[in-house]
């Protein structure tokens, strides 16, 4: 499903002015070191923090409170927090825009038909992964035929994706249809001419 084929999107209204910091209060400073991470968040979580023994936690706490610098008024602190948050939001937005630009560039080099709906992010990544894998297999086979060697009876891990299956590993886990195996895709099994690899020669549905 491609919900935004046109790519048109209404500009969202930022919440910055209406609700600058829901839940943001000075309490946030006091619970920084002890707040447990979400289940999926593992990186950097200091287990000792809960017992109060986390090395550096106190230092960080002090740093967040402003260290030895002159204490600021609540108003100034609030202003500073707001300003920092706003800047962080801008950076984050910019970062995501860069990420999307890179994703668009990736879409641009993937073979799709002009009237294909725009690939979603996850589709783009899976397609790229499968496409690279297919090209790698193609080159390998082309190498063998070029030097007059019989293509070796492919071991399972050779014919299939790196995990030994016939399907692309990403597709396996995902909801999209599995990638075609080389056997199902004779065009990829035969020694290919460069023309066969030109963008557009293969539809993305061959790789998803």
Partner DNA sequence: TAGGCCATCTGGTCCT
Partner DNA sequence: AGGACCAGATGGCCTA
Binding site for DNA (CB under 7 A): 1-5, 8-12, 14-16, 19-24, 28, 31-33, 35, 37-41, 43-46, 49, 63-64, 66-67, 69, 84-85, 87-93, 95-97, 100, 120-123
How many other CB atoms are found less than 10 A from the CB of residue 145? Answer: 13
Task: At 50, list the tokens.
Answer: 């809960």
Question: Contact, 103 vs 121, CB < 8 A?
Answer: yes
Give least dist CB 134 to DNA, A.
22
Least distance in angstroms from the C-beta of 162 to DNA:
22
Give the residue with the Cβ less far from DNA, 41 or 148. 41
What is d(CA 150, CA 126) in angstroms, rounded to the nearest whole number?
Answer: 31
Rounded Cα distance between 138 and 81, Å, is 55
Minimum separation from the CB atom of position 143 to DNA (A) = 35
Output 120 or 205, the one with its CB closest to DNA: 120
State the minimum distance, in angstroms, from the CB of residue 98 to DNA.
8
- Residue closest to 163 by CA, chosen among 186, 129, 123, 198: 129
Q: Which residue, 54 or 134, is less far from DNA as judged by CB? A: 54
Of 39, 36, 67, which is closest to residue 51 (Cα–Cα)?
A: 36
């Amino acid at each position: 499903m491609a919900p935004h084929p046109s790519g048109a999107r209404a500009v969202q209204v930022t919440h910055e002015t209406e609700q600058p910091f829901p839940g943001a209060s000075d309490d946030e400073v006091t619970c920084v070191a002890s707040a447990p991470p979400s289940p999926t968040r593992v990186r950097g979580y200091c287990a000792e923090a809960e017992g109060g023994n986390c090395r550096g936690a106190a230092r960080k706490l002090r740093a967040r409170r402003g260290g030895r610098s002159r204490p600021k008024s609540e108003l100034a602190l609030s202003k500073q927090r707001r300003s920092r948050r706003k800047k962080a939001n801008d950076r984050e937005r910019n970062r995501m825009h860069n990420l999307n630009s890179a994703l668009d560039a990736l879409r641009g080099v993937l073979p799709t038909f002009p009237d294909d709906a725009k690939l979603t992010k996850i589709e783009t990544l899976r397609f790229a992964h499968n496409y690279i894998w297919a090209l790698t297999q193609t080159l390998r086979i082309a190498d063998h035929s070029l030097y007059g060697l019989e293509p070796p009876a492919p071991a399972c891990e050779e014919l299939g994706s790196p995990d030994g299956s016939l399907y692309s590993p990403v597709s396996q886990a995902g909801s999209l249809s599995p990638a075609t195996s080389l056997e199902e895709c004779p065009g990829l099994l035969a020694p290919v001419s460069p023309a066969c690899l030109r963008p557009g020669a293969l539809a993305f549905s061959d790789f998803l």
